[in-house]
Structure 1
Amino acid sequence: MIKVVKFGGSSLASAEQFKKVGDIIRKDETRRYVIPSAPGKRTPKDTKVTDMLYHCYGQAILANDDDDCEEYQRSFEDLIEKIKERYQEIIEGLSLELSLDEDFKVIKENFSKKIGRDYAASRGEYLNGKIMAAYLGIEFIDAAEIIFFDEEGNFDDKKTDEAVAKRLENLERAVIPGFYGSGPDGKIRTFSRGGSDITGSIVAKAVHADMYENWTDVSGFLIADPRIIPNPKAIDVITYRELRELSYMGATVLHEDAIFPVRKEGIPINIRNTNSPEDKGTLIVEDTCRKPRFIITGIAGKKDFASITVEKAMMNGQIGFCKKVLEVFEDNGISIEHMPSGIDTMTIFVHQDEFEEKEQKVIAGIHRAVEPDFLELESDLALIAVVGRGMRATRGTSGRLFSALAHANVNVKMIDQGSSELNIIIGVRNHDFQPAIKAIYDIFVNTMI
């Protein structure tokens, strides 16, 4: 059995956390390939090393562009020393005979040469990977040697898959830092923030892993946001489709791009808690015959949307009507979040901050494109997704949902259910966002306990 294990920044923020990680890896010999993130926050007021590196690189550029400015040079050198101290503290706490002096010398030189923000950001994972490899006594592989991007900066999955598989073919164990790779010119390229999740998924696919464990500071996914629902129940098993729906609506524990490589191979992902390794966490799978604990799997949502309702008699009989309306939004560079429709109406939900500056152009464009009978704008709206594979086999789900919202005095502005019966999208006013989520959680979870 092969497991790929990725550890987030909070799991590797200090020597104490490193020791927890070491215990987890040594406890299970099938945990063979380790993907570390850069050190995260040790305390709520602490700074992540990646943010320190970004700031340090910014000071290096200012110092380089202004030769007379000693202040920027001092700031740059002070920040380098502070970053070095963070790593030295971990090394000493682990009683390792390891020196990163030469690495920091190279980093300092490259920062001064303005080598790039991607390079700067990647050094957090790179250095943590070297410490992790020394601590575990296994081989370190620079991700730049096996993770590749094309000339446009897009991930090159074919080249990477072949390189990772070949490099690890005869290697029992290894540490591969997350978040970055290299382009055709050899320069460092990075994924978006949180991209260490993607690296772990890529490695899991390439080695045909049996499991991809993603260790963080929470025991898996929760049914609802703990900032709204006190101590919400955890999700035991969730399908990729359910996860995609919840992630789209703002539920974030795993980088959403980390799903696709392992999904293609049918490799399950296990979200685990470094600080509570005995917890089973959440298992993410392609599909399952396991019955969910509750009718719904999760609730997630976002606020601050605007809606544009376009009404025209016999709209459904006009070929290309919707296309013409959507082209107006495309021409103005506005992304569409949701689009419920009726026989003679269609409503487009967009992010309010994107839409406000261009609203009059959009209105004029729609009038020119389709000559609507009526057009109405609404603002300060929220969208809530109620997701669950259990809804398909349960009659009366929508009725219970509406009843709960009515009882909580929440006015529903829109409701839309996908043909897969996997999710129901509800539109409410911003001020009804939290009351709606509490009412939904209460009817589908609390009443079922």
Structure 2
Amino acid sequence: MIKISKFGGSSVADAEHFRKIKSIIDSDPARRRVVVSACGRRGKGDSKVTDLLYLVNAHVEYRVSCDDLLEDIGSRYFDIADELGLSYPIREEFATFANQARSGMLPTEVLVSRGEYFTAQLMAEYLGLPFLDAADVIVFHHDGRLSMSRTEELLRERAPKGGFVLPGFYGATRDGQIKLLDRGGGDISGSILAKCLKADLYENWTDVSGFLSADPRIVERPEPIARITYSEMRELSYMGASVLHEEAIFPVRDADIPIVIKNTNRPQDPGTIISETESGTDAEPIITGITGKRDFVAIHVMKNHMCDEVGILRKTLSIFERYRVSVEHIPSGIDSFAVVVQGKDVRDNLWAIVADIKVEVSPDEIKVADGLALISTVGRNMVGRPGVSGSLFAALGQEGISIRMIAQGSDEINIIVGVRDEDFDRAIRAIYSAFSDGDHILELSDLRREEAASHPGI
């Protein structure tokens, strides 16, 4: 069995976390292919090494001394090496890097990638595994696109068969130019590795025990999610649930490789499995999770006999495209529709967009509603199940929360409602309570028992 074990920044923050990782790796012989991020925060008030490296780059660009920053970064690695008794020449290697950084010799992507590079060098020695440089196996085209076919070819040629430690977040072009993935790209590196090596499981180790069914800052003790599908995870991640970089799911989804989110500090916790595999039982929740975002804006366009006019929606959307504004939702009626966008996307051009709609679409009326929050209730088991929407809307009504917008995806795995920003927390709690008995989220088996009790003759 092959497991890809990716450890995030919080999991490699210091020597104590290195020890936890060694215990995890040693506990399972299938865990011999390890991906690491750069050292993360050790606690409140601390900084991630990647953030510090970006600051170093900015200081160099503006010709400001970065000595204190480099000293801070170096000390992080020196402390780990000293405490664990490692022989890797980190002081000499880091001194060379620091001199090159001060001189402006290093391109931004090279400079920033050294966070993962040094972390992986130390981790490789500590685990007793070979170091495999991502620049030698993760291949990018010059336009920044990943070359999956070439990456797979090189990994099969160069990856040590008995295991290795790979730095995440970066790769290189064919001529050796370092390229970075998006922030959080270590998750993507692990996913690429899992696909190319045809792994049986991709483990993503972080500082939480998987996904929770709601934000614990809003809902008291929300239930953990035992299993979630890729589609559900995409919905929850896009609307604000941030445990795994959402782009990390695509390589493994294509290869039908499950992901498990695990807690480095609590490895005994089961975590959350991300997989399309059906459980085949009723021991699954009716809803999977609830999340949302604040600060949306809805531009309502009204025009008599709009339903008889061809092209009015296309004209309106072309205006948003011209301003490079992404559209979230388009709820509509017979003679009206609304275009819902994120507030930050139209902060500087909202009234220019409204003016263009007036000129090019000639509506009878335009209204702008800001301060809108969107809440997404997600669940694969809601599909085709009567009463779910009714329970959700009734719960909001009982709390006196006005619904300003309703949308549902064509796959029926989510219901999105718009409420006032100030009702956001209260609405999430109300929806959660509607599908919970106070101790746990109701399961399909609970619903079937309720249905049987309501129809005793069946």
TM (norm. structure 2) is 0.92
Question: What is residue 176 of structure 2 aligned with on the other side?
Answer: 186
Letter in structure 2 aligned against 1:47: S
Letter in structure 2 aligned against 1:44: K
Question: What is residue 175 of structure 1 aligned with on the other side?
Answer: 165
Residues 14 and 289 (structure 1), Cα distance of their counterparts in 2 relative to 1, 3 Å cut: same
1:235, 1:97 → 2: CA distance?
A: 42
Shift of 1:312: 2.3
1:181, 1:342 → 2: CA distance?
A: 49
Q: More deviation in 140-149 or 355-364?
A: 355-364
Question: What is residue 10 of structure 1 aligned with on the other side?
Answer: 10
Question: What is residue 456 of structure 2 aligned with on the other side?
Answer: none
Instruction: Give the 5 Å matches for 1:15-414.
Output: 15-63=15-63, 72=64, 75-111=65-101, 112-168=103-159, 171-290=161-280, 291=282, 293-414=284-405
Question: What is residue 425 of structure 2 aligned with on the other side?
Answer: 434
Unmatched tracts of structure 1, length 5 or more: 64-71
Is the CA contact (8 Å cut-off) linking 2:50 and 2:112 kept in structure 1? yes
Residues 419 and 82 (structure 1), Cα distance of their counterparts in 2 relative to 1, 3 Å cut: closer
Shift of 1:147: 1.0
2:430, 2:349 → 1: CA distance?
A: 35
Letter in structure 2 aligned against 1:183: T
2:225, 2:248 → 1: CA distance?
A: 19
- Give per-residue Cα distances to partners, 1:319-354, cap 9 Å, x unaligned: 322111100111122221222222322111112232
- Give per-residue Cα distances to partners, 1:153-183, cap 9 Å, x unaligned: 2222232222223322x52201110001113
SS in 2 for 1:228: coil
Shift of 1:185: 4.1
2:126, 2:395 → 1: CA distance?
A: 53
Letter in structure 2 aligned against 1:343: I
- Give per-residue Cα distances to partners, 1:261-283, cap 9 Å, x unaligned: 00000000000000100001000
1:50, 1:357 → 2: CA distance?
A: 30
SS in 1 for 2:66: helix
Letter in structure 2 aligned against 1:45: G
Is the CA contact (8 Å cut-off) linking 1:205 and 1:262 kept in structure 2? yes
Q: More deviation in 434-443 or 319-328?
A: 319-328
Question: What is residue 453 of structure 2 aligned with on the other side?
Answer: none
2:164, 2:405 → 1: CA distance?
A: 51
Is the CA contact (8 Å cut-off) linking 1:240 and 1:287 kept in structure 2? no
Question: What is residue 68 of structure 1 aligned with on the other side?
Answer: none
Letter in structure 2 aligned against 1:410: I
Alpha-carbon RMSD: 1.6
Shift of 1:363: 1.6
Is the CA contact (8 Å cut-off) linking 2:88 and 2:121 kept in structure 1? no
2:74, 2:409 → 1: CA distance?
A: 52
SS in 1 for 2:72: helix
Is the CA contact (8 Å cut-off) linking 1:220 and 1:272 kept in structure 2? yes
Letter in structure 2 aligned against 1:161: E
Is the CA contact (8 Å cut-off) linking 1:294 and 1:445 kept in structure 2? no
Is the CA contact (8 Å cut-off) linking 2:78 and 2:91 kept in structure 1? no
Question: What is residue 69 of structure 1 aligned with on the other side?
Answer: none
1:403, 1:240 → 2: CA distance?
A: 29
Question: In percent, how many aligned pairs have the same letter?
Answer: 47
SS in 2 for 1:272: strand
2:2, 2:350 → 1: CA distance?
A: 53
Is the CA contact (8 Å cut-off) linking 2:329 and 2:407 kept in structure 1? no
SS in 1 for 2:121: helix
Unmatched tracts of structure 2, length 5 or more: 441-458
TM (norm. structure 1) is 0.94
Q: More deviation in 6-15 or 359-368?
A: 359-368
Residues 39 and 376 (structure 1), Cα distance of their counterparts in 2 relative to 1, 3 Å cut: same
Count of equivalent residues: 438
- Give per-residue Cα distances to partners, 1:65-85, cap 9 Å, x unaligned: xxxxxxx4xx42332222221
